[in-house]
Structure 1
Amino acid sequence: MMCVSALIISFLLLCEFSMGMGSLVVDDAQSSDTSDLMARSVWAEQLSLSLLPPYSSPDHQVDPNMCIQLLHEFANNSGALSNCLAGMAWPVRVCQHCYKEYAQLKATMNKIVTPMQNSSTLSCGTTLLRSDRVQVIVALSNFYDDVWIDSKCASCLNMNHTSVLDSTASFMKTFDELMQCFNITKGSTVPDQHGNFSHVCQMCNVTYKNLSDQYTNLEHGNYLCIDLEDAMNSTRILWSRVFNCTLPCTDTIPVIAVSVFILFLPAIFYFSTYLHSDQRKRKLILPKRLKSNANLAHIQDKSN
């Protein structure tokens, strides 16, 4: 019975479509016919959503208006997120500026798969997510999830993903201070061949060290996302390759002391071995006969 009803409705849709095409050919100059054709197309889409026998029952019906509204909402959120990701691709700032668009997209997906509360209406998940072979909405959602996970954006956001962590904001503030010190925007700083003796290396050394220390602490705490990694990589390239600067090592004196100790360790070993050897304890022992003759001669000298 359901198949017969579907065939009848399909025939009616075909007739309506043919009538619309006929009126469009007769009066092609009128824009109202085009509007009527679009209205019929929307009506046909709504009707097709309500005629899914495997997913509906007399007590539970899929509301086509709600599903189409959620579909348009997902399309708008997807477009906003794509625009944000592309706009923040270089320099990479996707985690700091696109978390709101990503949260809105995930909220729309949650509404698609979740039934409405206090209602007998089914969710639109089966209709919108698994009604076609390609599963466009699922593929798009998985793509955005993969980009977000690969970027490790959750490491730079709070638990609810509603704001940036204070550590991330502090790092980016120090990064902006260092870029201002480099004077990249004005382009007045020209790299020279003096290395650490240049004006840039001398003036920006403290800020660069502070930024490097913050990055190390964030790395140990697993608070790094693609934004911070890209910022630090670009900073290191500017510091070492463009301005020919190096960060002085604070452990130079201990390293030299240990090296000298290791260098003289063999000499100390051989010297201590010599001091504790039997050669130093040797004494000259005269033979007994020679000693008695010597005593006899001594006695004779005294008697004389």
Structure 2
Amino acid sequence: MFKFCVLFVIISIFVKLEANPENDDIYYSQSQVILRDNGIRYSSSYPSQCFEILKEFAENASNFTLCTILHARPITLCEKCIKDYVKFRDKYKELLVAVVNGTSCKSIFLSQDRLNAVQEYHDNILSVWDKGNCNDCYNWTLGIPSLKSTTIDFYRMSNDTKDCISKYNDPDNSEVCNKCMQIYEELDEFYKTLSSDSIGVDSVCMDIVDSMNATRSTWSKTLNCCNLRRTPEVVFLSCAGIISFLPILYYITVRYCGPIRDLPNVLKQSRFKQTILRGLSIESRSD
């Protein structure tokens, strides 16, 4: 009973404190102090044009981030988000070089504290674009992006391959592998030329890499078209094994089945043995 009374008193005091309008005045006055402090230190001394540039940069960063997330799977962000990327890039450059009434906007928002929020957000957002090698999809003449001829050729060949697979991939038609083999191999060989290494993950635009991986997966796993390549390989390996075994078979045949087995023993004796026998015969005659 005593514990219940104590708990009731504590709850009553807490309710009174929450309902007391004086507490709201205290919180409000504290908030006003913070706002006035921020106003004294920042708003009154910085040009409004810099804040407008920062606001536009934030909007561009938001749009670019949204676009990259929406086109993350399948990966088409390099193609679909190029306009948002250019706006994001250009507005950041403007923020770096803008000077209003002798005040640099860069000096206001960048590298002024340990958090360095503007720079951190810029670098983190840009890292997705750079990690995907998206700039490799384009030519950047005067900073304006245009698709490379190799990018256009790849997508043309990729679309031809997909159209061929769609055309012949019927339940009653098993000719899709034979019909589309040449087109697929041309696409695969062209993809290998896009990079100096055999993989290309570290240098080829990620849109192209993901598209090629999807096509290879469909070709090998879904359609099982790689089985057609295994038959010639089995024949080749079998022939190579037989040819390698022929010398061994020849020596075994000569050793155990050759005509030397039918010769008299005297003909099979070595020259060394014949020399010894001749020497012994000469000595016996001299005696």
**TM-score (structure 1 length as normaliser):** 0.60
Aligned counterparts of 2:251 and 2:40: Cα–Cα separation in 1? 93
Relative to its length, the structure with more helix (as a share) is 2
Please state how far the C-alpha of 1:229 moved relative to its aligned partner.
Answer: 1.6
Which residue number in structure 2 is paired with residue 110 of structure 1? 93
Q: Cα deviation per residue 1:13-66 (whole Å; 9 max; x = unaligned)?
A: xxxx99xx9xxxxxxxxxxxxxxxxxxx9xx96993453xxxxxxxxxx5x122
Aligned partner of 2:59 among 59, 76, 80: 76
Matched, 1:233 2:213: yes
Q: Cα deviation per residue 1:175-223 (whole Å; 9 max; x = unaligned)?
A: 1122222229xxx94457xxxx812212221221111111222233655
Matched ranges for 1:108-257 at <5 A: 108-116=91-99, 121-131=102-112, 134-159=115-140, 160=143, 162-183=145-166, 189-190=169-170, 198-220=174-196, 222=200, 223-246=203-226, 248=229, 252=233
Q: In the superposition, relative to structure 1, how do residues 142 and 206 fare at CA in structure 2: closer, same or farther (>3 Å)? A: same
Mean Cα displacement is larger for which, 232-241 or 246-255? Answer: 246-255
Percentage of pairs with the same residue = 24
Matched, 1:262 2:244: yes
Q: What's the RMSD between the two structures over aligned residues?
A: 4.2
Aligned counterparts of 1:254 and 1:231: Cα–Cα separation in 2? 32
Q: In the superposition, relative to structure 1, how do residues 68 and 249 fare at CA in structure 2: closer, same or farther (>3 Å)? A: same
Relative to its length, the structure with more strand (as a share) is 2
Aligned counterparts of 1:281 and 1:213: Cα–Cα separation in 2? 64
Q: In the superposition, relative to structure 1, how do residues 71 and 268 fare at CA in structure 2: closer, same or farther (>3 Å)? A: farther
Q: In the superposition, relative to structure 1, how do residues 272 and 112 fare at CA in structure 2: closer, same or farther (>3 Å)? A: farther
Q: In the superposition, relative to structure 1, how do residues 45 and 242 fare at CA in structure 2: closer, same or farther (>3 Å)? A: farther
- Output the amino acid matched with 1:235: T
Q: In the superposition, relative to structure 1, how do residues 103 and 282 fare at CA in structure 2: closer, same or farther (>3 Å)? A: same
**TM-score (structure 2 length as normaliser):** 0.63
Which residue number in structure 2 is paired with residue 94 of structure 1? 77
Aligned counterparts of 1:203 and 1:103: Cα–Cα separation in 2? 42
Q: In the superposition, relative to structure 1, how do residues 229 and 121 fare at CA in structure 2: closer, same or farther (>3 Å)? A: same
Q: In the superposition, relative to structure 1, how do residues 273 and 125 fare at CA in structure 2: closer, same or farther (>3 Å)? A: farther
The DSSP-based 3-state class of the residue aligned with 1:218 is: coil
- Output the amino acid matched with 1:238: T
Q: In the superposition, relative to structure 1, how do residues 266 and 76 fare at CA in structure 2: closer, same or farther (>3 Å)? A: same
Q: In the superposition, relative to structure 1, how do residues 124 and 203 fare at CA in structure 2: closer, same or farther (>3 Å)? A: same
Which runs of no fewer than 5 residues in structure 2 stay unpaired? 1-27, 259-266, 283-287
Please state how far the C-alpha of 1:254 moved relative to its aligned partner.
Answer: 6.1
The DSSP-based 3-state class of the residue aligned with 1:220 is: coil
Matched ranges for 1:37-48 at <5 A: 48=42
Number of residues of Structure 1 aligned to a counterpart in Structure 2: 229
Please state how far the C-alpha of 1:227 moved relative to its aligned partner.
Answer: 0.9
Q: In the superposition, relative to structure 1, how do residues 251 and 121 fare at CA in structure 2: closer, same or farther (>3 Å)? A: farther
Which runs of no fewer than 5 residues in structure 1 stay unpaired? 1-16, 22-40, 52-61, 293-304
Q: Cα deviation per residue 1:123-157 (whole Å; 9 max; x = unaligned)?
A: 21121234565433222211122101211223322
